[in-house]
Amino acid sequence: MKRRDFLKNTAVFVAGASVSVSALDFITPKELFAANPQLKWGFLVDTHKCVGCGFCVKACKTENDIPFEANVTRTWVERYVIKKDGDVVMDSPKGARDGFTTKLLDQNHSGMTLVPENEIAQAFFVPKLCNHCTTPACVQVCPVGATYQTADGVVLVDRSWCIGCGYCIMGCPYGVRFFHPVEHVADKCTFCYHRISKGGDTACAQACPFDARQIGNLKDPNDPVAQAVLNQRVGVLRDEYGTKPNVYYIGLNKEVR
Amino acid sequence: MVEQVAQMVVHGEAWTIKDLFVLPNEYVYWSIQIVMYPYMTGLVAGAFVLSSLYHVFNVERLKEIARYALVFSFALLPVAMMPLMLHLMQPLRGIHVLMTPHFTSAISAFGIVFMTYACIVAAEIWFVYRKFIVESVHRLNNKQDRSGLESLLLPIYKVISLGAMDISKEALDSDHKAVKFLAALGIPVACFLHGYAGFIFGSVKANALWMTPLMPVIFICSAVVSGIALCIVSYYIFMEIRKWAAKRGKNWLLPDALAQGGTAIPVEQLRSIQEHEVKMTSKYLLIFMTAAITLEILDMIFRGYTAVKSWDALRMVIYEHDFMKIFVYQYGLGNFLPFLLLLVPGLSTRRAVIASILVLFGVFMMRWNVVIGGQAFSLTFAGFMEYHLPIIPHDIETFKEGLGGMLSVIFAPFIIFYFLNMIFPAFMSDDEAH
Ligand code: SF4
Ligand code: SF4
């Protein structure tokens, strides 16, 4: 073969290969899942009602097969203690799986610390979970499209396709993602998609004795969650990242990040 | 029981120490392999740029090291992917990146840029060595009693000649043109390749330290610096070995001499080539170092000056937690000292090599400080995380993401180079070669 021919053949091959590569994967999950324009899932957390019992965390772990002893969790509860001098001390021992049973705050390597009662200005609990962002950073960065968004706004991970690069874990501004200790793929809250898509409630909302957590349809004006989001003063976490979260908080302090 | 314990192993837990308030799912997920990954791609890109200086800009003085740098950057190529593979939780699915490219993701496009780049380097090598390949086919064909190695090499040469056996003057001239073209094309692609590695970090908006548009440029400059430094160091070492071997006629250490069937070059000549090339190259090293250091310091000043919300946490990490690593190891030992060493007049080969080793260390520390330092603080800026490199592995994970994995990545290119050198003698002295 002459060199010119060789070059030509190579060019043809490369061009052909790239065409076939680009032909792959142009079906977006939005098209795959029967689009339902009347449905967009949203979540409401009422921090006034949360007492830090951790029932939600426990229920989530059991429901979603996250090893109970593992130090990762799909949802957790944070405790905030704000001192009169403005200092903030927070903790979330084991994600508050067992609730908050002591006044000592877990500062990890720095050990346990106690804030004397007369120094406390306010103290409260804040449950956290995946925000199922409208423009999710995790979906944007996933190199294989294993993390995707359904038409009704839920962000899911395809366990059979995730390569475990951790890019989405780095990309999420809320630190909700982790590697599943058994499956060895990226994992996070799914809004219990397997339940809600059949008309059920999320495991955490069901387990909460005080109704601090609620899931609902943001597009239905009669839905209690949609009504709260419309009529009450609600806040979202880290708005500045432009992810447009869909978890709304009632009574959100500025100290909560 | 065993199963229960195994289930509790959370990725990242083995090497992360948390302090103060850190979110429950936060760990140092990107560990040593992700430090190695931009480091190795940087070396590839840098070595290539060095070789192009001669081919594109006709810097005659770099002729010998240019050919070496080209072959060496080819040997580094497969290793640039290795850290990524070692770090994936599902390495067997790595191919999914090419099967379902998701173009909003920087890693995904990286695979394509990387492949393009690999093709360019391979093609350039082919053109540079085509004459040699053809000659080798003839020489080995005519030889009666071929040694084991030679009978192995013959079919290899036959295959890689791709049937293009024409070595007339015109054919060689067009080879020459092709080399020049590919080398020129390779520079932007090499920069793009490494700029992309920087983009992977710079585009993570959740991370305050990485989130800067300067990241790709900083990465490119330090990549060129590290690539040149590595070429100087390894060139020096290989030449030392060659001198040592030439004195004693130990041909097994001179794969190119083995392959060519020729006799080694006299020791004196080797020494003078070595000296000349090392010194010349270090001049270019100095130029690129200046650019790299300026950019990095500019970035830091800018962050301090604009001092957005995250600066409080960043300052803690930069000036307190990582002070030694950033100011002593990276800037002091890795930048300032070698800068002085190279600047002081009367540069000797040995001094140039010591300076280059320090530069290599400095660039490594820069990668470390970016990758590990970027994960040193919690997303809430309330707590900190420290990464402890696993030294003694107790499972596959702590091996891959520990010292063992790191050393495998470091030594792999040298092993590849040893074999590659037999096929494409990097030290071949041929005046007609490009
Ligand atoms: S909170 Fe994080 S994981 Fe959840 S959708 Fe947003 S970016 Fe993705
Ligand atoms: S870890 Fe999995 S889901 Fe996350 S970015 Fe990588 S491939 Fe996508």
B314 CA to chain A: closest CA distance, Å?
16
Mean pLDDT of all residues in B82-92: 90
Q: Which residue of A has its CA nearest to B172?
A: A3
pLDDT at residue number A29 = 45
Q: How many CB atoms lie within 10 A of CB B261?
A: 16
pLDDT at residue number B432 = 45
Query: Is residue B7 predicted with pLDDT exceeding 50?
Result: no
Query: Is residue A30 predicted with pLDDT exceeding 50?
Result: no
pTM of the full structure = 0.87
Closest Cβ opposite residue B379 in set A107, A173, A182: A173
pLDDT at residue number B2 = 42
DSSP conformation letters of A174-218: T---EE-TTT-SEE---TTHHHHTTT---HHHHH-TT--EEEEET
Mean pLDDT of all residues in B362-381: 93
CB A165 to CB B21 under 8 A? no
Closest CA to A175 of B202, B19, B385, B206: B206
Contacts with B17 from chain A: Cβ below 8 Å: 108-109
- Pairs of residues, one from chain A and one from chain B, whose beta carbons lie less than 8 Å apart: 185
Query: Is residue B406 predicted with pLDDT exceeding 90?
Result: yes
What's the A168 CA to ligand 1 centre distance in angstroms? 8
pLDDT at residue number B255 = 56
For residues A163-190, one letter each, b for 16 or more C-beta atoms within 10 angstroms of the residue's C-beta and e for the rest, the string is bbbbbbbbbbbbbbbbbbbebbbbbbbb
Question: What are the φ/ψ torsions at residue B167 (nearest 5 degrees)?
Answer: -120, 40
Would you call A83 an interface residue with chain B, using a CB distance cutoff of 8 Å?
no
Query: Is residue A4 predicted with pLDDT exceeding 90?
Result: no
Helix locations, B58-99, DSSP H? 63-87, 96-99
Closest Cβ opposite residue A165 in set B9, B17, B107: B107
CB B10 to CB A178 under 8 A? yes
Least confident residue range of A27-31, A55-59, B118-122: A27-31
Closest Cβ opposite residue B9 in set A146, A176, A181: A181
A166 CA to chain B: closest CA distance, Å?
7
State if residue A120 touches ligand 2 by the CB under 6 angstroms criterion. no
Contacts with B126 from chain A: Cβ below 8 Å: none
Q: Indicate the SS3 state at residue B385.
A: strand
CB B206 to CB A257 under 8 A? no
Which pLDDT tens digit goes with each residue over B125-163?
Answer: 999 999 888 988 888 888 878 777 788 888 888 898 888
Closest Cβ opposite residue B105 in set A25, A110, A141: A141
Q: How many CB atoms lie within 10 A of CB A36?
A: 12
Closest Cβ opposite residue A144 in set B17, B26, B96: B96
A197 CA to chain B: closest CA distance, Å?
27
Output the six-digit token pair for A232.
């009450």
Q: Indicate the SS3 state at residue B249.
A: coil
State if residue A242 touches ligand 2 by the CB under 6 angstroms criterion. no
Question: For ligand 2, what atom is nearest to the CA of residue A141?
Answer: 5
pLDDT at residue number B433 = 47
Which pLDDT tens digit goes with each residue over B269-291?
Answer: 878 888 888 888 888 899 889 99
Which pLDDT tens digit goes with each residue over A143-172?
Answer: 999 999 999 999 999 999 999 999 999 999
pLDDT at residue number B253 = 54
Pairwise CA distance, residues A246 & A43, whole Å:
6
Would you call A98 an interface residue with chain B, using a CB distance cutoff of 8 Å?
no
Query: Is residue A6 predicted with pLDDT exceeding 60?
Result: no
Contacts with B207 from chain A: Cβ below 8 Å: 170
State if residue A41 touches ligand 1 by the CB under 6 angstroms criterion. no
Query: Is residue B60 predicted with pLDDT exceeding 60?
Result: yes
Q: Indicate the SS3 state at residue A100.
A: coil
Query: Is residue A9 predicted with pLDDT exceeding 80?
Result: no
The DSSP H or E segment spanning A121 is strand A120-128
Q: Which residue of B has its CA nearest to A189?
A: B25
Query: Is residue A40 predicted with pLDDT exceeding 50?
Result: yes
Mutate to test the interface with A, among B3, B19, B21, B310 (most CBs of A within 10 A): B21
Contacts with B108 from chain A: Cβ below 8 Å: 143-144
Pairwise CA distance, residues A75 & A71, whole Å:
12
A201 CA to chain B: closest CA distance, Å?
24
pLDDT at residue number B51 = 87
Contacts with B20 from chain A: Cβ below 8 Å: 107-110
Query: Is residue A14 predicted with pLDDT exceeding 60?
Result: no
Query: Is residue B364 predicted with pLDDT exceeding 70?
Result: yes
Which pLDDT tens digit goes with each residue over B259-268?
Answer: 555 555 677 7
pLDDT at residue number A36 = 61
pLDDT at residue number B316 = 87
CB A140 to CB B104 under 8 A? yes
What's the A188 CA to ligand 1 centre distance in angstroms? 8
Mean pLDDT of all residues in B164-183: 88
State if residue A243 touches ligand 1 by the CB under 6 angstroms criterion. yes
- Sequence-separated (6 or more) residues with CB below 8 Å from residue A86: none
User: pLDDT confidence of B243, banded at 50, 70, 90?
Assistant: confident
Closest Cβ opposite residue B21 in set A21, A90, A140: A90
pLDDT at residue number B59 = 80
Question: For ligand 1, what atom is nearest to the CA of residue A188?
Answer: 3
pLDDT at residue number A1 = 45
Mean pLDDT of all residues in B201-222: 90
User: pLDDT confidence of B109, banded at 50, 70, 90?
Assistant: confident
Mean pLDDT of all residues in A25-42: 62
Query: Is residue A244 predicted with pLDDT exceeding 90?
Result: yes
State if residue A176 touches ligand 2 by the CB under 6 angstroms criterion. no
**Ligand 2 atom 2 nearest Cα:** A162
CB B90 to CB A6 under 8 A? no
- CB of B210 closer than 8 Å to CB of B25: no
Query: Is residue A15 predicted with pLDDT exceeding 80?
Result: no
CB A184 to CB B11 under 8 A? yes
- CB of A130 closer than 8 Å to CB of A74: yes
DSSP conformation letters of B326-358: IIIIIIIIIIIHHHHHHHSSS--HHHHHHHHHH
User: pLDDT confidence of B251, banded at 50, 70, 90?
Assistant: low
A206 CA to chain B: closest CA distance, Å?
22
What is this model's ipTM? Answer: 0.86
**Ligand 2 atom 6 nearest Cα:** A165
pLDDT at residue number B254 = 56
Residue among A41, A129, A132 to mutate when testing ligand 1 (max atoms within 8 A of CB): A132
Closest Cβ opposite residue B102 in set A144, A164, A182: A144
Query: Is residue B258 predicted with pLDDT exceeding 60?
Result: no
pLDDT at residue number B190 = 87
Report the mean per-residue pLDDT for chain B. Answer: 86
Query: Is residue A27 predicted with pLDDT exceeding 50?
Result: no
CB B162 to CB A143 under 8 A? no
- CB of B55 closer than 8 Å to CB of B175: no
Least confident residue range of B194-203, B253-262, B393-402: B253-262
Query: Is residue B356 predicted with pLDDT exceeding 90?
Result: yes
Would you call A142 an interface residue with chain B, using a CB distance cutoff of 8 Å?
yes
CB A71 to CB B10 under 8 A? yes
Which pLDDT tens digit goes with each residue over A194-237?
Answer: 999 998 999 999 999 999 999 999 999 999 999 999 999 999 99
State if residue A203 touches ligand 1 by the CB under 6 angstroms criterion. no
- Distance between start and end Cα atoms, chain B: 65
